[in-house]
Structure 1
Amino acid sequence: MSDSKTANAQKIAGTPTTVISTKPVVLSAPGRGEDLQVRVSAPATGSDLPVIVFSHGYGWSMNGYAPLADYWAAHGLVVIQPTHLDSRTLGIPAEDPRTPRIWRFRIEDLTRVLDGFDVLEASVPGLGGRLDRDRVAVAGHSWGAQTASALLGARVLGSDGVPGEDMSDPRVKAGVLLALTGLGDDLTPFAAENFPFMKPSFDTMTTPALIVAGDNDQSHLSTRGPDWFTDPYTRSPGSKSLLTLFGAEHSLGGIPGYEVAETTDESPARVALIQQLTSAFLRSALHPEDTSWRAAAIALEEDPNALGKLQSK
């Protein structure tokens, strides 16, 4: 590892740094109906900065998930947050002809961000030449986690049960999947009718990932209980880790934002654990020499008041 990359790995693990955030940065998106708007948050200093592209949950936008985006950026990551077409900020009606394909537009949004690093660097003051394009991760929450999982190798099953197009991306080295829904065999009739794309296969999701699930996350989209959200871990090849959070519901304690109405299980301590463990995972996944993830796993296992448990394979 070069000296600059070693220094950056240490910085990610150390004291938070000042963050500069720029929005909207616009990427041209022919065929999408409108250009893609993103928010870029980056440490004010440092070079060879790893990148994480974050996909928001249904209805959210580049302005959400401050507890994660701000934390990651303050600890040495460049965080890029696209606004998908389902965002409430865009107000696209349900009858819009793009609606049935929004799940696919979402995946293409993430790929467009990866293709647009030159534009992003040129558009954000002081960011030019500071991205480490060999150390890229994706993350997402809920529908955003399904979106991100496609770049890790997950595929959507067609009506015939055959996996659809492979939309994985070799530029992505790791993923953090928060409250990612499980297999489509267990959808409620409502979900099966309205969300036919919620039929994933995790058989080819081979990129290393941390899956985070709440043991009190009871979805109205599934006929199963909270264990539905562990399918991405149990049904995908290694190397994967599963963080099960005790008492957590779908917002996992409040990761979409502070004092957000959708948060029914508000827990600053749980959010802090997610911040710390996701950062440790990303440090070690993007810098293999870094031992933060192993240390964090041991610390959680030995904590008598732990808010969750970790499994790895």
Structure 2
Amino acid sequence: MHPLPAAYAAHLSRDRRRSAHTVRAYQATAERLMAFLSRHRGEVADRTTLDMLTQSDLRAFLAQRRNEGLSNASAARELSAVRGFLAWAGAGTPRLKGPRVKKGLPRPIAPDEVMALAEEVADEARAPWIAARDWAVLLLLYGAGLRIGEALSLTGAALPLGETLVVTGKRDKTRIVPILPAVADAVSRYVDLQPWPIRRDTPLFRGAKGGPLAAGVIRRSVQGARGRLGLGERTTPHALRHSFATHLLGRGADLRALQELLGHASLSSTQVYTAVDAAHLLDVYRTAHPRA
């Protein structure tokens, strides 16, 4: 293991108080960069190598990562991590625009972009418990299809999360939604880290000063993260619920069951996702068919 990425990881953990997940991810990026530069220049990379880093070097590194299968969002996040490492090392960062996701008709967010978005939001949090909170909220939106208001209205009565969760939606209509183990684990970790007692009648998700968490806080965090990742303006907290529905439908979910999961009063509200899924199929067809 190269000493510079290890020292950078120690800085992130000790001085920046980043989460263990973030530290591992950023250290891995720094390790990949140093290994690439060693191969690229034919000698062991060090601080001097970082000082001499050119735009061409950085572009070649990102091209290699893209060839390994990174999406636009993941590549943009890799570039962001590299910039952080270079800034810590005192090296200048060559000017290079990150990849951008092409704008167009509304589309669900790809699963890897959902995770990149959630990770980016958590990475920018001021404290580990806030990072865990934001991660848990976003996973509830994508993993359970909750509206942001539904997630933020949860109280301590929801704990401990089991295989299902009773959600109160619009017009005080309740529904039962399944909870994935990853979502339950994220909420549990947040509960363990947050500094306030959670009672059955108190909000589950708290703001930085202990009051109820406002939806605007999450929206602003997502807005900042999507800009850094090059995602489109329609990448919002509600788009995670939209992606939940579209991905389920694309994998064969029954429309009536999806209506219940989303808490829609009428089936017509749910049928919009069939059009979205058809648009995705059309994209696949146009890309794959030789005469398209």
Name the larger-Rg structure.
2
Greater relative contact order structure (CA < 8 Å, 6+ sep): 2
Place the TM-score, normalised by the shorter chain, in its bin: under 0.3
TM-score by length of 1: 0.25
Q: Which has the higher strand share?
A: 1
